């Protein structure tokens, strides 16, 4: 029996790894309440989310344009099936900050919704904290938190403080503990001054801070963040990222993040799963993604005189050229940086030159479009 299976049958709350549980030789020490310590080879037990062969198929009604077709669709409706998630599998370890990314309609939200028990999978298995989200939805929701950027769990006409009290009642948090928790989160999220203002009067950034605080009242082990920084300005985005990092560090909360903002991914996550058309196309560390998929370098060059830049090397593409400066992209799979720099130096007198990696955003975009191969 694998370790994860062994632990699945027990109450996972009673099983807590010691702070630095994994020894250099790969033996893990875990403490099981009232039983004692176990030493386990490998780190398999740390998987708190395991997904295998997960599929979700939606049945959608289709109708061609026009009134006649509308009548026809009432009498003889036609349906098509859409495979939103197709045979995916992955695991997430305790305390990990994972980016689950992909283009619009890739299947990110559908997957999160199956992991949290909102949607029933068509087939496949999901194990979150030793529970099946379909059968143990209520039990599981005591242990997970979620923030959907587009959906609010706070009452629009009431101050966040009132919503927090109600959420405390929904999550059955004893009054004293709730007071302590609210006071801690109020300070952490710097929302002391917002507690008495109706939610409708808060800015989006203030509301999202309150939303995240609200989803943490019951001390979840995992928090699912679906586009938490959508529509926020750069300053607030940074604030939210810092808070998420702090939460992960101080409370060991596992973060499952979906975002279209590469800044979120780069700053928060060490690993990314890329999903496209319902299938996982990549599951790698951010470092490896950059290393394996980096196919281009960007050269910013500044000349001392006005130049007319013309390049005859196929690996070099002019992104922008104006008066004294130029931005050039170099395809390092078909040419070398040395060759490119040499060419640019010969065009004119160079005042400054800067060579940088292709932005992660572009790498991910290329992966989405299938333009990248390791």
Partner 1 sequence: MLMEARKYLRLIKDYFLLNLSAAMEYRASFIIQVLGMALNNAFFLFFWWIVFNNTGNIGNYSFRHVMTIWAIASSAFGAAFILFGNTRNISNLIVQGELDVYLLQPKNVLINVICSRSSAASWGDLLYGFIVFFAVYGFNPGKLMLFTLFVVSGALFITSMLIIAHSFTFRMGNSSNIANAVLEFLISFSIYPEDIFKGYIKFIIYSVLPAGFITFFPLRIMNEFKPVMLLALLLINTAYFITAFIIFYRGLKKYESGNLITTRM
Contacts with partner 1 by CB under 8 A lie at: 58, 61, 109-110, 113, 116-120, 137-139, 141-142, 144, 146, 148, 150-158, 162, 165-166, 169-172, 198-200
Kind and range of the H or E element at 247? helix 234-251
Nearer to partner 1, 211 or 329 (CB): 211
- Give the shortest CB-167-to-partner 1 separation in angstroms: 8
User: Distance of CA 35 to CAs 38, 162, 291, Å?
Assistant: 9, 42, 45
Nearer to partner 1, 204 or 298 (CB): 204
- Give the shortest CB-121-to-partner 1 separation in angstroms: 11
> For residues 282 and 344, what is the distance between their CA atoms, to the nearest angstrom?
36
DSSP secondary structure string, 183-230? Answer: HHHHHHTT-GGGTTS-GGGS-HHHHHHHHHHHHTTT--SEEEEESTTT
- Give the shortest CB-175-to-partner 1 separation in angstroms: 12
Nearer to partner 1, 1 or 138 (CB): 138
Q: Are 302 and 350 in contact (CB under 8 A)?
A: yes
Nearer to partner 1, 112 or 247 (CB): 112
> For residues 102 and 367, what is the distance between their CA atoms, to the nearest angstrom?
9
Among 320, 321, 315, smallest CA distance to 336 is for 315
Nearer to partner 1, 39 or 120 (CB): 120
* Token pair belonging to 79: 């349906």
- Give the shortest CB-116-to-partner 1 separation in angstroms: 6
- Give the shortest CB-212-to-partner 1 separation in angstroms: 14
Nearer to partner 1, 175 or 319 (CB): 175
- Give the shortest CB-267-to-partner 1 separation in angstroms: 25
What contacts 249, CB < 8 A, 6 or more positions away? none
Kind and range of the H or E element at 367? helix 360-368
């Amino acid at each position: 029996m694998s370790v994860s299976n062994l632990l699945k049958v027990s109450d996972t709350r009673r099983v807590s790894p010691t702070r630095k549980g994994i020894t250099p030789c790969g033996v893990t020490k875990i403490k099981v309440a009232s039983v004692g310590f176990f030493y386990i080879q490998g780190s398999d037990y740390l998987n708190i989310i395991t997904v295998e062969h997960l599929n979700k198929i939606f049945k959608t009604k289709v109708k061609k344009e026009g009134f006649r077709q509308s009548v026809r669709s009432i009498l003889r409706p036609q349906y098509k099936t859409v495979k939103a998630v197709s045979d995916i599998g992955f695991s997430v370890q305790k305390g990990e900050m994972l980016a689950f990314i992909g283009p619009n309609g890739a299947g990110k939200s559908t997957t999160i919704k199956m992991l949290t028990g909102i949607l029933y999978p068509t087939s496949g298995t999901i194990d979150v904290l030793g529970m099946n989200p379909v059968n143990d939805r209520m039990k599981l929701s005591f242990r997970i938190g979620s923030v959907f950027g587009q959906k609010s769990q706070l009452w629009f006409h009431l101050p966040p403080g009132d919503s927090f009290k109600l959420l405390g009642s929904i999550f059955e948090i004893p009054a004293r503990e709730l007071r302590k928790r609210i006071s801690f989160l109020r300070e952490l999220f710097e929302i002391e001054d917002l507690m008495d203002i109706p939610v409708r009067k808060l800015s989006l950034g203030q509301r999202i801070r309150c939303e995240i605080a609200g989803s943490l009242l019951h001390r979840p082990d995992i928090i699912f963040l679906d586009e938490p920084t959508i529509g926020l300005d750069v300053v607030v985005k940074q604030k939210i990222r810092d808070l998420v990092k702090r939460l992960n560090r101080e409370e060991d909360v596992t973060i499952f993040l979906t975002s279209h903002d590469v800044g979120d991914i780069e700053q928060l996550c060490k690993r990314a799963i890329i999903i496209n058309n319902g299938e996982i196309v990549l599951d790698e560390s951010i470092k490896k993604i950059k290393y394996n998929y980096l196919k281009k370098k960007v050269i910013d060059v500044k000349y001392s005189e006005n130049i007319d830049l013309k390049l005859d090397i196929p690996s070099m593409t002019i992104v922008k050229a104006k008066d004294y400066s130029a931005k050039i992209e170099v395809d390092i799979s078909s040419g070398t940086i040395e060759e490119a720099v040499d060419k640019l130096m010969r065009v004119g007198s160079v005042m400054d030159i800067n060579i940088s990696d292709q932005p992660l955003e572009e790498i991910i975009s290329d992966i989405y479009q299938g333009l990248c191969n390791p």
